[in-house]
Chains A and B, each alone.
Chain A
Amino acid sequence: MYRTVAQLDWEMASLAAFAPEVCTRFELPEPSVEGRTIHAMRLRAGDGENRRGVLIVGGTHARELMNPDLLVELAVDLVVSYLTGIDIVLGRRRWAARDVALMLEALDIYLLPCSNPDGRNYVMTVQWDWRKNRRVDPETSCIGVDLNRNMDVLWGVTEGQTSCNPCSNNYVGPSALSEPEARNVKHLLDSHRIVTFADVHSYSELVMYPWSHAPTQTTDSSQRFTSLPSGTCLPIADPNYQEYMPPRDLQRFQTVSARIVDAIADVRGRRYTPQAGYDLYATTGTNRDYAYSRHVADPGAEKVYGFGFETGPWAGSAKESFQPADPAPIMREAESGLLGLISESICAIELIGSRLLESDEEVVALRRVRDELLATTATGRDWIALGERVQSSLLGCVLADKGLTAQAATLLRATTKVLTNDAAALDRDTIAQAQALSRNLLDRAQSAETRNDLRSMQTLLERSQGQTVTQVLRALMADGPDA
C-alpha cells in the first residue's frame, strides 16, 4: 500500500510538528515542472555544527513506488527510537536505540522522499508505469525527462540506456540539470556537507556504486571523465574506455556495500548484490555518479560516496516488481540497509575529536595518515578497513561509556602528538593506553570478526613498542592485519 504525494507531505509535516527538536521539514528552492512544492527533511539531535551529512533520495523514477514510503517510515522510526530509547526492530535485525541516537547526534541526515511528485501523481491517476517527470518537449509534444539521466556527469553521452530522443523513457533532457527536480538534488549537495548519498530505486535487489558509464579501473589516473566531451548525443568514442577510481575509494564502496548487504540480509535473509552501476547496464547523468563525480570535477568539493539501491526482487512481472501488493517486507529490509549506510557514514575519529578535543588538529593529522599514506598500498587499505569495521561495531559502546570515551580521547591526543614527529618513538605509556583500550573493547565485542580485528590490533601494538612513527607506518603498509 502506497501514500499519495499529499499524504507523504502530510506525514513529513506531522513528524516535524511532533518532534521539532529532531526533525525539520523544509521547502526546496524549486517547485516541480507542474508547480508542486517539494519538501525534504533534516534529522539531527544534539549540538554541533558542520557535521557530516547523509542525503537519501527517493521517488526519482515515479513508478518505483515504494521508496518514498520507505523514506518517510525511516524518518518516523529514527525519530521515535530517539525520543523513546526503543530499538528499531526490522524482522530479525535489531538496531539498538543507542546506535540510532549516535546516528542522529553525529550526523545530519537529509531525506528527500519524493523528488518527482508530478510523476508519482501521474502514476496514481493516469498511467501506472510512468517513469519520468512531466516536462513537455515543445517540438515533439513528448512528455518527460528521465531525472536519473539529467545530472551533470557526462550528461548527454548516450552510453547504454541513455537517450537524446525526447520520446524515450531514458531522455536526458534539453541540457544538464535542465529539470527543477534535478536541480533540487544538486542544491542539497551544494548547500550541506554531504559525505554519503543514496538514490533509492526498484527493483533487482542491488546495491550499486560508481561508475556507470564504463568499467572501473584503479591503475590509470589519466582516464577521467573530465577529459571526455559531454552533450554529444553519442556513446563514448573509445569502446575500450575505462574510468579511473582510486583504489581506496573502490575499497570503501565495496566494504560499505557489503555491510549494507549484510544489514539487509539480517532482516529476512534476502541477499542483495553489490556491484558497479555499469554492471547492470551503462548509463550517464545518474544521481549516484553525479554525487561522487563532483569532487573529481571540482577538487575543492567534498568527496561524496554515492550509492544506488534497487529495492525488492523480480516478482514475475514488471507490475508486481515495481508495485508489489505488499511492499512492507521489502521496505523493512531496505530500511535496515539504509540504517547500515547511515551508520557507516559516522567517522569515529572526527566524532571523538569534535566532542572531546579543543581543536581539529588530531583529526586532520590522522586523516592525513589514512589518506596520504595507508591508502596508497593494499595492505595499508586492509588496516583502514579493519579500523572501520571495529568502529562500526563498537563506537556506540565507546560513546555510551564515559570512561571508554575518555580513554579513547587521551589515546587520540597522545597518538597525534607522536604522528606530528616522524622521528618520535611510540613510548611505553602510549602503547599501554592503546592496549588497555583494546582489552576493554575486546570484552564488549559481540562478533568473532570484531574480536579477531582487535587481536590483530593488539599484535600490532606489541610489535610497535619503541619504534618510530615512520617504522610503524612502514610496517602497516607492508604487512596486512593477517601477517
Chain B
Amino acid sequence: MVRFEATIHGAGSIEVARLDLDRIADPEGLVRVLVDVDDCVRLVEQGFEVRLHHAYRVEPLDPGLILSDDEVRASFGRRIGRAGRRGTS
C-alpha cells in the first residue's frame, strides 16, 4: 500500500475540514495532506486539483532511526556519569 503527501488546490479551509483528511502543517499555508489512492480519486471527482509531492509505502519507521538497547544504555550512562555516585540499573 502507498500513501501520498499531496497539496489540494481549489479548496478553502472549511471545505477541507469537511473532507475528513489527514491534514498536516504546510509552511506556506497550503492545504497539505497525507492521503491514499481512494482519497485522491474522491478529491478529483469532487473537482479539486490534487498535486502529489511524495509517495510513501505503508511501512514501519526506518529501523536505522531506532536506537539499540546498547546505545540507550551507553547514552544514559554518559549523561549521568557526571553525577556518577551509583551504578545504573
| A-to-B contact residues, CB < 8 Å | 1-4, 7, 10-11, 13-15, 17-19, 65, 73, 76-77, 79-80, 83-84, 86, 123-129, 131, 158-163, 165, 167-170, 203-204, 280-282, 310, 313-314, 317-319, 321, 323, 325
Contacts and interface: CB of A to CB of B under 8 A. Distances in A.
B47 interface: no
Contact of B61 (A14, A128, A158, A161): A128
A117 B83 CA distance: 30
B65 A84 contact: no
A127 B60 contact: yes
B71 interface: yes
B65 A323 contact: yes
A4 B66 contact: yes
A17 B89 contact: yes
Contacts of A313: 27
A126 B58 CA distance: 8
A309 B86 CA distance: 35
Nearest to A163: B20
23 contacts: A1-B66, A1-B71, A2-B65, A3-B66, A4-B67, A7-B69, A7-B72, A17-B89, A18-B83, A65-B61, A73-B79, A76-B80, A80-B82, A84-B83, A125-B60, A158-B17, A159-B17, A160-B17, A314-B25, A314-B26, A317-B5, A319-B5, A323-B65
A10 B72 contact: yes
A318 B60 contact: no
Contacts of B53: 317
Interface of B: 3, 5, 13, 17, 20-27, 32, 34, 53-54, 56, 58-62, 65-67, 69, 71-72, 76, 79-80, 82-83, 85-86, 88-89
Given A80-B82, A127-B58, A204-B27, 11 more contacts: A1-B65, A1-B67, A80-B80, A84-B82, A128-B56, A281-B13, A313-B27, A317-B53, A317-B54, A318-B34, A323-B65
B14 to A, nearest CB: 8
- 7 closest pairs, A vs B, by CB? A169-B22, A83-B83, A314-B27, A168-B20, A204-B25, A17-B89, A7-B72
B5 to A, nearest CB: 5
Interface of chain B, helix or strand or loop or mixed? mixed
Contacts of B59: 126-128
B76 A11 contact: yes
Contacts of B24: 318, 321
A432 to B, nearest CB: 44
Nearest to A322: B24
A18 B60 contact: no
Nearest to A17: B89
B15 to A, nearest CB: 12
Contact of A318 (B54, B65, B67, B86): B54
Given A3-B67, A125-B60, A281-B23, A18 B80 contact: yes
A80 B60 contact: no
A123 B72 CA distance: 19
B25 A310 contact: yes
A129 B82 contact: no
Contact of A203 (B25, B56, B80): B25
A335 to B, nearest CB: 13
A282 B82 CA distance: 46
Given A314-B26, A317-B53, A170 B20 contact: yes
A131 to B, nearest CB: 7
Contact of A14 (B65, B82, B83, B89): B89
Given A7-B72, A10-B72, A128-B61, A80 B83 contact: yes
B54 to A, nearest CB: 5
A15 B60 contact: no
Contacts of B20: 163, 165, 167-168, 170
Contact of A319 (B54, B66, B67, B83): B54
A338 B6 CA distance: 33
A309 B85 CA distance: 35
